Structure 1
Amino acid sequence: MENIFLNACKNNQKGIVQTFMKRGGINLDKRDAMGNTALFYACQKGARDVVKILVEGGADVNLANNQSMTPLHMVSQSGNKEIVAVLLDSGADINVTDKEGKTPLIYSIKDGRTEFTKFLLAKGADKSIKDNEGYSALDYATSRGLRDTIAFLAGDTTEKDSQGNTPLHQAVWNNEAEVVKELLKIASIDLNGHNDQGDTALVLACIQNNLRVAGILLDAGADMLLRRLDGNTALHYSSGRGNKEIVKLLLEKGMDINSKNNEGETPLIVAAICGFNDVTALLIERGANLDEKDNNEYSALHYASVKGYNEIVEQLLMGGATS
């Protein structure tokens, strides 16, 4: 009989549920093989009236399944405010976490439910809670490009995930130009903050070959001189990825064309190693030191010659390289 009752809750069969409740003798908190209760299934179905019947009958609103998901987790994925209100009024824990450490608020954001997210926050959801991977509600909003959600979630924009990335780092990495713009409007934003690898937002934009985002960051005042832990600058990365337009932008903003990384490599050497003749041509034109050598005493001409990049060799020789 309990299986029939469970199916009635799954299928939103209010009349059958009421009949069982009148008869009595039903264990409202009995769980199936997955650990799901009748209330869990009613929430999954969005069956408001059935949820009310079960809750009024004494169903445990905080009973979790095998994945530690509660009815509130489930309904947060559908965004049903009425059901959430019923659960919260009956003592549901709004900040409960499942096996992955995710709260109902995080599930709401993962599903892109901006208005429902506001509703949960108004009901007391804690936006600072991080899941087992170190990601907070703001991190998920940023990774999904939810500009409106970011606007009211962004309190501490310097908060970092397990890799040291701030929301700004994440927005840049995900090529979310509009989100980057929204974050830059926030007074507390750390434009030049770095993650555990030493990446600034600008360096990540160059790694991602995103000219638009790089331009947005530079216009906002991003520091071009900041380096990664390996000593590479934004110019090294854009040169090593063959992005002539970003290289041009950085040079126009005053970037040191002969800056060296920890290996002693200049952007020209990096471009020559990678075989990007358009970039080497631009760097030569803009006055790069052609004979500069790295820590191994090798120049751009040496690398281009060894790798068989004939066009780059010709460019360097025509430019006056001597070693």
Structure 2
Amino acid sequence: MDINEMFLNACKNGQKGVIQAFLKKGGIDFDKRDKYGNTSLMYVCLKGYKDITKLILDNGANTNLANNESITPLHAVSENGNKEIAEMLLGSGADINATDKNGEIPLMYAITEKRTTMVKFLVEKGADISIKDNQEHKAIDYATANGLRDIIAILISDITETNITGDTPLYQACYNEQSEVVKELLKNENVPINSINDEGNTPLVIACIRENTLIANILLEANADPNIALLDGNTALHFASSWNNKYIAESLLKYNANINAQNENGQTALIIAAQKGYNDVVKLLLEKTLML
């Protein structure tokens, strides 16, 4: 085993005294990697050895050397939430927007692990919240997918952006049935509440399809348009009827859903409910029709 391998092992094991002795002797190749592509700096960052990290950085270790997965030390500390080491790395030239093999930046690692403090720190330090990974997902998509209200609030400036299928963060929150996230997003006056994705769906329509009465009501109270039709002519009320959801249908009608709207087959919500034998919905729609 040569001196560089011994140094790497000492870093893996957190042997500060041994590391200091090697550094004093000199001649250490900080770029030495093991079979996983990890350097000595990567290991001390992974294990949270703050003092050793500082020693290695002070001796000129490269902060941006990635392993076989294209993961850098900053990715590692963002994932484990070690803000102190992250600050050291950035102070020594770490690329805050370095991407791994999946196109993910350290900020995305922090979000996935729900490291709110780290997320705030990285954003304050200049992490680019507009960067997309290889699947066209951005930082706010990660936050929305995990229902992270506090993190969404940090990333809220990206609220109008869409992913590869045209879904906004609000749409994703509705799809994932995250009512608290929906509320958080709706606090922003610029939220595109009636945006239509590539499939022609709005957030309200997806709430109806998923039969989430709470989210449907939240959207309606925030002035979502109940009369936007899909490409096939179906509206939110058609879906509420199709799924036999009397409560969502009532809410839609309360907010002026067009009870006579027809889809491309000439069907109204009443016809759909009648064909499926959904008597409660039929009764509701008939009563509302007679009141017109």
What is the TM-score of this pair, normalised by structure 2? 0.93
Q: Tell whether the 8 Å contact from 1:76 to 1:104 is kept in structure 2 after alignment.
A: yes
1:236 aligns with 2:238: yes
Distance across 1 between alignment mates of 2:94 and 2:276? 58
Are residues 159 and 257 of structure 1, via their aligned partners in 2, closer, same or farther at CA, if it must alter by over 3 Å? same
SS of the residue corresponding to residue 102 of structure 2 reads coil
Q: Tell whether the 8 Å contact from 2:140 to 2:158 is kept in structure 1 after alignment.
A: no
Partner of 1:265: 267
Partner of 1:166: 168
Distance across 1 between alignment mates of 2:40 and 2:261? 65
**1:277 to partner: Cα distance:** 3.7
Partner of 1:16: 18
Distance across 2 between alignment mates of 1:268 and 1:88? 61
Distance across 1 between alignment mates of 2:257 and 2:250? 10
Distance across 2 between alignment mates of 1:232 and 1:12? 63
1:76 aligns with 2:85: no
Q: Tell whether the 8 Å contact from 2:130 to 2:158 is kept in structure 1 after alignment.
A: no
Percent of pairs with identical residues: 55
Are residues 35 and 263 of structure 1, via their aligned partners in 2, closer, same or farther at CA, if it must alter by over 3 Å? farther
Match of 2:87 among 70, 85, 88: 85
**1:69 to partner: Cα distance:** 0.8
Distance across 2 between alignment mates of 1:283 and 1:217? 21
Partner of 2:64: 62
1:249-271, CA deviations, whole angstroms, 9 ceiling, x for partnerless residues? 11222212232222322223333
1:249-300, CA deviations, whole angstroms, 9 ceiling, x for partnerless residues? 1122221223222232222333345453432343344338xxxxxxxxxxxx
Q: Structure 1: which 5+ residue stretches go unaligned? A: 289-323
1:5-56, CA deviations, whole angstroms, 9 ceiling, x for partnerless residues? 3232122221222222223343211112221111111111011111112212
What is the TM-score of this pair, normalised by structure 1? 0.84
Distance across 1 between alignment mates of 2:207 and 2:86? 40
One-letter amino acid of the structure 2 residue matched with residue 84 of structure 1: A
Partner of 1:256: 258
One-letter amino acid of the structure 2 residue matched with residue 236 of structure 1: H
Partner of 2:46: 44
Q: Tell whether the 8 Å contact from 1:51 to 1:83 is kept in structure 2 after alignment.
A: yes
Aligned length, in residue pairs: 288
Partner of 1:306: none
SS of the residue corresponding to residue 192 of structure 1 reads coil
Q: Tell whether the 8 Å contact from 1:156 to 1:188 is kept in structure 2 after alignment.
A: no
Partner of 2:107: 105
SS of the residue corresponding to residue 286 of structure 1 reads helix
In angstroms, what is the RMSD of aligned CA positions?
A: 1.7
One-letter amino acid of the structure 1 residue matched with residue 97 of structure 2: N
Partner of 1:298: none
Distance across 2 between alignment mates of 1:46 and 1:273? 63
**1:100 to partner: Cα distance:** 0.9
Segments of 4+ moved more than 6 angstroms = none
Larger Rg: 1
